[in-house]
Amino acid sequence: MNRGKLVFAQLMQHLPLTTFRRCVTRYRGAFKVKSFSCLDQFLCMAFAQLTFRESLRDIEVCLRAQSSKLYHLGIRSAMARNTLANANAVRDWRIYADFAQSLIGIARPLYAQESFGVDLQETVYALDATTIDLCLSVFPWAVFRTAKAAIKLHTLLDLRGNIPTFIHISNGKMHEVNILDQLLPEPGAFYIMDRGFLDFERLYRFHEAGSFFLTRGKRNLKVQRRYSHPVDRTTGLICDQSVVLTGFYSHQGFEAPLRRIRFKDPETAKTLIFLTNNFVLPAFTITELYRCRWQVELFFKWIKQHLRIKAFFGTSENAVRSQIWIAVSAYVLVAIVKKRLHLSASLHEILQILSLTMFEKIPLDQLLAQTMSDEIQQASDNQLILFA
């Protein structure tokens, strides 16, 4: 009989608990708390994320059914639905935001050498936002339209490992381009974004900081060509030009030259216009780099399907923000474990396995060493064929 730790406890061993306690102290998370600490709240919410719980009552029923094992999970207090709901509403969400950032700081070096499809040494980020629809009568603080509520998840994704390095949660009214004011440009890094972020005054701040941006240009953009570079038209490239902006406001915001690349996608037959301040990379590499921006869309799709960030366990702004940041922490934690244990399984497969084995005592590395697809046995050659 395996007398080791439960799978959930083994997973939580990868958390930097000293850092978590510092976050709790920073925002006075333990003030007037006699039982059910911030760590208990985090573990219960992380359990809900990893096992796909649907509601507070769902969490309560599952954990009470295993009440004799709660201590071994790391949960030191009795679990009650009202207690967890109150903690989500009252405990400062910044505790879990700061803790998630510390986990991101652990995960990024683990994926520093990860390939993302383009041979570049520099760090490459994809910037985008996704909207999560809410009910206005239930979430009146998240005003979006006259009869609709929503929040936006603005995300800067490191393409090496698909690790979110910056996340900002706002109401649905905030335009995506405003998030550029909150980013600290990293010299030498590439920032890939769509046309919604086309604000030349803001992009010039990235240019001055030594960062490179890549975005889509609009067809009515007024520019003057200064020089045309030779291109290989067999690759789909139409032109590679050095241009300057001639529009009144655009030229005032960005006086430096830009590089404009026209490309006809052979798969969709669409003509795309790219704008960048990088004049070194080959034109075709620029087009391939922009194609990698789709990874941030896949990231949004992944977390919406496999984490609980569309149905919330509380209605207050603090509860919603806390749940999202704990969901991000769970995602990054699984990514850390995947790299530390040298697992070949995808994050989805790891989550599926963990969701069914949280109360088992199998060593975590043995449990996750083989993916579900690897365990499928090939049919025996002696098996009769029923239908020819």
Confidence of residue 346 (pLDDT cuts 50, 70, 90): confident
The C-alpha atoms of residue 363 and residue 341 are separated, in whole angstroms, by 11
| Average pLDDT rounded to a whole number, residues 53-61 | 93
Domain ranges of the chain: 7-96+312-369, 213-287
| Average pLDDT rounded to a whole number, residues 308-312 | 89
The C-alpha atoms of residue 46 and residue 328 are separated, in whole angstroms, by 10
Segment 30-56, tens digit of pLDDT: 998 888 999 999 999 999 999 999 999
3 by Cβ neighbours in 10 Å (0-12 / 13-18 / 19+) ranks as exposed
Cα of first residue to Cα of last residue in the chain, in angstroms, is: 47
Specify the higher pLDDT residue, 319 or 348. Answer: 319
Structure tokens at 15: 């958390």
Residue 225 sits at φ, ψ, to 5 deg, of -75, 135
The C-alpha atoms of residue 129 and residue 388 are separated, in whole angstroms, by 52
Confidence of residue 373 (pLDDT cuts 50, 70, 90): very low
* pTM recorded for the entire structure: 0.90
pLDDT of residue 3: 58
| Average pLDDT rounded to a whole number, residues 349-370 | 88
Confidence of residue 340 (pLDDT cuts 50, 70, 90): very high
Contact partners, residue 300, CB within 8 Å, separation at least 6: 128, 130, 153, 155
